[in-house]
Amino acid sequence: MFFNEDFLQYVWKFRLFDWNGLQTTDGESVEIVSPGLQNTDAGPDFQHAKVRIGDTLWAGNAEVHLCSSDWKRHGHPDDKAYDNVILHVVYRDDEPVSRKDGSPVPTIILRDRIDPELQARYQRLVFGEQQIIPCEKSIGAVDDLILSNWLTRVLIERLQKRSAEVTKTLETNRGDWEETFYQYLAANFGFKTNALPFELLARSLPQVILAKHKNNPLQIEALIFGQAGFLEDSLADDYPQSLQKEYAFLKQKYKLKPIQKHLWKFLRLRPSNFPTIRLAQFAALVSQSNHLFSKVLEIKDPQKLRELFDDLNINPYWQNHYQFDKESKPLVKKLGKSSVDILILNTLVLFLFTYGNNMQSERYINRSLQLLEMMPAEQNHIINSFVDMGLKIDTAFRSQALLELKNSYCNQKKCLQCGIGIKILKMA
């Protein structure tokens, strides 16, 4: 039967072995008072373990290996960090081990003490056939309370990871939340296809410049389309010409350098998602909602946050255009519901969480989680697969948590570090 060190650590951590009459390889009795805390960083596998060996109570580290010879293979005899190991827990004892000073390390062998059924369950769970995730045949039977608790933890991990990235950007922006929020919002306005040029545009055009023109939508539009590189060509319609005129002045005034127009992608996009339309919507949002991040913080009712994106007054020119100088059939260019959901998810939820985290304010963290609870679940083939496994996924809270679970745990077969996997292994 094949298993790895992770499994042995799991067995040790939860004491899932027969400990009656436990003895070291030297024949001394062993009582486990505490297996210690699992250490995922460098150093011994468990810290603050407590064991009674013979008549002496020892407190220190425990190290787990499949074979005792791994002690040498992993270079522990020369590593001071392992001097304080009080117990070596092995599956198989193939050679005696000692510390740097030559003293022997008390060792216990688990080989004949682990229930074969537990080993078989682990084998089936982690190495069995799978289409999507290792536990796809069992996850549907896990109690919903256990699922909910674990998914909440995984979701918080996801938000913490992403909020660490926001915090880094915030530092490069010298703690300016408005500027950082504006940069993220812009990148998310590009959705998948035009995220990069949108981000470059925002970095080339600080929010503080736009704020100076908050009462003049035409100047905001000129700054945005100009910096996006769309006003460099010769254009015939009155509207783009008036933008060019405004931009020429503002470009000079703020010494601006536009990004390159060729970065914007139109290919395979529906006209209503063309970057020109997104830029017009972004310009409308910037004009209508100055100091947007402060506004987001002020709005207490998460439902009302949606309204920020509803009914953006984009310039009437875009009613019958998708690009400059190309007239099209009239159509109102509103941000679709799913687009608003993506903007809320990737910007508002993330920033409320990051702000709450950085300011140690539960209020904003809770607001971000409430938003996720109120939003519909994403629809994609991964989420549909979880539904087929029997999971109820009715909100973005769950779908986001499941996406994180799949990426950070299931794909890496970290079933023994997963609350669901631990439950499945205990299920008869």
Sign of the Cα pseudo-torsion (383, 162, 360, 298, in order): negative
CA distance 360 to 357: 5
- Are the CB atoms for 225 and 231 separated by under 8 Å? yes
Could you tell me whether strands 56-67 and 37-38 are parallel, antiparallel, or unpaired per DSSP bridges?
unpaired
Which residue lies nearer to ligand SF4 by CB, 36 or 134? Answer: 134
Q: How far is the CB of 121 from ligand SF4 (least distance, A)?
A: 11
Distances (CA, A) of 253 to 16, 142, 247: 72, 63, 9
Find tokens 């005129």 and name the residue.
245
Which range touches ligand SF4 (CB under 6 A), out of 46-54, 62-70, 220-228, 406-414?
406-414
Choosing from 90, 139, 200, 280, the residue that interacts with ligand SF4 (CB under 6 A) is: 139
- 142 is an interface residue for ligand SF4 by CB under 6 A: no
Q: How far is the CB of 142 from ligand SF4 (least distance, A)?
A: 9
Which range touches ligand SF4 (CB under 6 A), out of 90-98, 168-176, 191-199, 407-415?
407-415
- 415 is an interface residue for ligand SF4 by CB under 6 A: yes
Nearest Cα to 402, choosing from 374, 424, 426, 377?
A: 377
- 405 is an interface residue for ligand SF4 by CB under 6 A: yes
Which range touches ligand SF4 (CB under 6 A), out of 186-194, 281-289, 310-318, 405-413?
405-413
**CA atoms within 13 A of residue 95's CA, in its CB half-sphere:** 7
**CA atoms within 13 A of residue 105's CA, in its CB half-sphere:** 32
Which residue lies nearer to ligand SF4 by CB, 84 or 130? Answer: 130
Q: How far is the CB of 132 from ligand SF4 (least distance, A)?
A: 9
Which residue lies nearer to ligand SF4 by CB, 291 or 414? Answer: 414
Cα angle 377, 379, 383; round to 5? 85
Choosing from 135, 292, 335, 393, the residue that interacts with ligand SF4 (CB under 6 A) is: 135
- 106 is an interface residue for ligand SF4 by CB under 6 A: no
Which residue lies nearer to ligand SF4 by CB, 77 or 140? Answer: 140
Residue ranges of E strands in 10-96: 30-34, 37-38, 46-53, 56-67, 85-92
Which residue lies nearer to ligand SF4 by CB, 369 or 420? Answer: 420
The residues pairing with 49 across neighbouring beta strands, listed in sequence order, are 60
Which range touches ligand SF4 (CB under 6 A), out of 107-115, 131-139, 227-235, 277-285?
131-139
Q: Which amino acid is residue 140, in one-letter code?
A: G
Choosing from 133, 243, 348, 352, the residue that interacts with ligand SF4 (CB under 6 A) is: 133
- 421 is an interface residue for ligand SF4 by CB under 6 A: yes
CA distance 168 to 171: 5
Which residue lies nearer to ligand SF4 by CB, 338 or 384? Answer: 384
- 154 is an interface residue for ligand SF4 by CB under 6 A: no
Which residue lies nearer to ligand SF4 by CB, 162 or 414? Answer: 414
Contacts of 371 by beta carbon, 8 Å cutoff, 6+ apart? 302, 305, 344, 348, 349, 352
Number of residues engaging ligand SF4 in binding (CB under 6 A): 13
CA 372 to chain centre: 14
Choosing from 414, 426, 427, 428, the residue that interacts with ligand SF4 (CB under 6 A) is: 414
- Binding residues (CB under 6 A) for ligand SF4: these are 133-135, 139, 405, 409-410, 414-415, 418, 420-421, 424
